[in-house]
Amino acid sequence: MPSFDMAGPWTLHPQVAVRPEPFGALLYHFGTRRLSFLKDLRLLAAVRRLPEAPSAAEACRSVGIREDELARYRAALGTLAGSHMIVQRTPSPLDEAP
């Protein structure tokens, strides 16, 4: 899989449900019937911020993920993209506002 684009806008796939759990959350894709476990609460928070954030990097930063940690979260988000849990979204005019 190519490197995950942290600069692009992302969102949960429309067929993915997030179920909170004591350890984090379960992501279930109704189309593929795949299940993903999110055990990192900051990753879960970043995934939840994706629909509003102008980029995946900004979603991560907004939940307290530091620049030196972004590579690890890029890998995790890339795995979620590879399993179609998250998908690129069309940028909105708000994404490009200064």
19-72: per-residue pLDDT in tens?
999 999 999 999 999 999 999 999 999 999 999 999 999 999 999 999 999 999
Residue, of 90 and 55, whose pLDDT is higher: 55
Residue 55 belongs to some domain of the structure: yes
Q: Is the pLDDT of residue 95 over 90?
A: no
User: Would 96 be classed as within a structural domain?
Assistant: no
Domain harbouring 56, CATH code: 3.90.930
Phi-psi domain of 36 (left: phi exceeds 0; alpha: psi -120 through 50; beta: other): beta
Domain residues for 56? 10-86
Q: Contact, 6 vs 75, CB < 8 A?
A: no
pTM for this entry: 0.87
Tabulate helix, strand, coil % of the chain (nearest 5). Answer: 35, 25, 40
The answer to whether residue 61 sits within a structural domain is yes
The verdict on residue 92 lying in a domain is no
Instruction: Identify which has the larger pLDDT, 60 or 96.
Output: 60
Whether residue 4 is contained in a domain is answered as no
Cα within 13 Å of Cα(4), Cβ side: 23
Domain annotation covers residue 93: no
pLDDT at 3: 83
How far apart CA 6 and CA 55 sit, in angstroms, is: 6
Residue 2 has pLDDT above 60, yes or no: no
Count of domains observed in the chain: 1
In a domain, 94, yes or no: no
